[in-house]
Structure 1
């Protein structure tokens, strides 16, 4: 089973492969803002799990298994961002997606996809939902700013 960190690495390997056609450990370290030694340990783990092919001082290549999972990870990230943006999430979309993405199941992601597709084809329903959101009331009228989710580095506008 992949850890959150392994997912992040695999997602970035997929992204870099799509962008540049190849991935080197130094590229991965720069993209993830981590030390090269951390990259070396992680690519060894991903290689052992069968997600990548790697030889020391060579490019990192995704296996078929790695490509399929990498594609899903990139799709999941984009779909969650689209969902939150569609619903006019005003603050911290990137941070919220990072917090959500590792804990959501593929079947639940399909539900998000279906909602996005539904709202795209039924904009009147999206407008109705946005009108409800403008009321901006918390459940039961409670003040919830003390929750951990409010610890983002931004205001709650």
Structure 2
């Protein structure tokens, strides 16, 4: 768990990210969460990319096993289940609104493009749209900040406590 501002990303970290994503990472301002082996799991990205595009997804999940686990949950329609539960649970809904506000606060430290003002990620604060973004936020912010991200991580087959990396920098 780490909070902004982040130390500058290294060339070695960018190499690992390139391998994880299958393309160069864009707008990375730091590593927001790491695998137990030290590889990046979540990056923090600029809210405006070098090409001028606004980019609301500040916490971007990069770890291949984590992204696959979130994709599996999405395919199993967990997003609909979580959205329905938000509608029924005032405490969880209030916590989700606070997660949205925390996300915006973290991103604002790197700029606030007008085009994405008030827009966080993952459907916050009213619905569940992208478990990848919500899990990335939960991993970066730590347990208890994003209730839906926490629940997605709990339901997934991937664990941040166990390394399954196959990229450079992974523990042997």
Q: Which has the higher helix share?
A: 1
Q: Which has the higher strand share?
A: 2
Structure of higher CA gyration radius = 1
Same fold (TM over 0.5): no
TM-score norm. by structure 1 comes to 0.28
| Structure with the larger RCO, 1 or 2 (CA within 8 Å, 6+ apart) | 2
TM-score norm. by structure 2 comes to 0.27
